[in-house]
Amino acid sequence: MPWQMVMVLKKLASGAMLSPIETAEEFRWGIVKCLQALLFRLSPCSIASCSCKLAPGLPFLSSKISLEVQDECSFSQPVECLISFLQSQDASAIVGHWLSLLLQ
């Protein structure tokens, strides 16, 4: 699941970087709003020892209803917490890239 998140973030980043000649500014802002909505819907996982509980600057997460991943596909690997993944070194490049896009 975390690598699916990276794919989504890469696609959104590609759309956000399109020039005004290639797309309307409203489209680019729509992409930024999609990212914002995606991040605001993240909730801490149910694992008590997970690092997502220590996420600084994310007080809105504690009041959200947990979005559990259903085991409909019978995953062969355990599902990783998305908040923990976004804080990890594996995701640091894409998160840094998104922050630079949002600050432009």
Domain coordinates in residue numbering, the chain: 2-103
Mean pLDDT along residues 7-19:
79
pLDDT of residue 70: 38
pLDDT of residue 61: 45
In this predicted model, which residue has the larger pLDDT, 76 or 10?
Answer: 10
Gap between the Cα atoms of 46 and 101, Å rounded? 31
pLDDT of residue 43: 77
Q: pLDDT tens-digit profile of 38-91?
A: 777 777 788 888 888 776 655 444 444 344 433 334 444 556 787 888 888 887
